[in-house]
Amino acid sequence: MSQSVDDRSIPYRPPGRGRRTFALLAGAPIIPLLIIGLFVLAAIFANFLTPYSPTQPNLTLRLLPPFWVEGGQLAHPLGTDLLGRDMLTRIMYGARVSLTVAVAVILVAKTIGVVVGITAGYFGGWVDAALMRLADATLAFPGILFAIVLVVALGAGLWNVVLAISLLDWAGTSRVIRGEVLSLKNRDFVAQAKVAGCSPLRIMAVHLFPNIINTLIVLSTLQVGSVILAEASLSFLGAGVPAPAPAWGQMVSGGKAYLTTAWWLAFFPGMAIVLVVLAFNMLGDWLRDVLDPKMRQV
């Protein structure tokens, strides 16, 4: 090879790759991660963490207050409910429902959203118009109402709840992904893929999809909160996962009549909802800040 060609073909490696990852993790938001971690552990290991059953009534111990209030017991730290079931236990099992629904909805809704968004963004024209009108129609529905109607029509049950919420959630995702794809598809590497003879499917899967993953991660994290709230609202209205399985919203609903007398019935499940949603929102914000500069670097 001739002299003039670059001999120094060793690629430039940005110095301190390991150091950079460490710095990134060091800035991670500890509290939200801790909260989410705790609830996830509770959801997974509820069986081992608590000796009580979440559904077995124990009428001798009804309406015990939390342990720091007069009349409460340490054995039931957050008190018991109308049927004598331990609150803490029910909250832990409730986490199982909420988090399962959240994960399932994210998987289903984001998949639909990504497929629709990439397709609409890449093809444009009438495909784009048709898909986006479909998305608009979905967004125009009053959310919870739609979900309730669906659940009533399909019958109560975990998977119907998942389906109902997913059908609400995909449209927002598809719009955001479509926006990303619109700006990506004008970049030269897409034109190059066409010049190389790549089919549209290959371009969408191999070239476009990997570049929207960051956005997808941030979107998912930020929307877990609203999914959990949706599930809680559904179960509050009685259209969620059926009793006796505990769900936070349903617990709040059951406790609303007793706010002045047995406030802990609604308070603790409510707090659980607040904490988890907040934690996911904070995590999502941090992820967005962290992933953005990297995206710009690319």
Binding residues (CB under 8 A) for other proteins: these are: 1-16, 19-20, 23, 187-189, 191-199, 202, 206-207, 210-211, 213, 297-298
Indicate the residue among 37 and 124 with the shorter CB distance to other proteins.
124
**Rounded distance between C-alpha atoms, residue 291 and residue 285, angstroms:** 10
Q: Cα-flanking dihedrals φ and ψ of residue 98, to 5°?
A: -60, -45
Indicate the residue among 3 and 60 with the shorter CB distance to other proteins.
3
Indicate the residue among 51 and 197 with the shorter CB distance to other proteins.
197
CB of 186 to other proteins, least distance (A): 9
CB of 280 to other proteins, least distance (A): 26
Indicate the residue among 14 and 155 with the shorter CB distance to other proteins.
14
CB of 132 to other proteins, least distance (A): 20
CB of 123 to other proteins, least distance (A): 15
Q: What's the gap between Cα 129 and its chain centre?
A: 28
CB of 115 to other proteins, least distance (A): 19
Contact 255, 12 (CB under 8 A): no
Terminal-to-terminal C-alpha distance of the chain: 31
Indicate the residue among 41 and 127 with the shorter CB distance to other proteins.
127
User: Which residues are CB-neighbours of 50 under 8 A, at least 6 positions away?
Assistant: 86, 88, 89, 92
Q: Sign (positive/negative) of CA torsion 282, 286, 287, 288? A: positive
CB of 286 to other proteins, least distance (A): 16
Q: Cα-flanking dihedrals φ and ψ of residue 80, to 5°?
A: -130, 165
User: Which residues are CB-neighbours of 216 under 8 A, at least 6 positions away?
Assistant: 110, 114, 173, 177
- Burial (CB count <10 Å: 0-12, 13-18, 19+), residue 197: exposed
Q: Could you identify the residue written with the tokens 């995206």? A: 295
Q: What's the gap between Cα 115 and its chain centre?
A: 18
CB of 182 to other proteins, least distance (A): 15
**Rounded distance between C-alpha atoms, residue 227 and residue 248, angstroms:** 13
Indicate the residue among 51 and 210 with the shorter CB distance to other proteins.
210
Indicate the residue among 153 and 196 with the shorter CB distance to other proteins.
196
**Rounded distance between C-alpha atoms, residue 146 and residue 163, angstroms:** 11
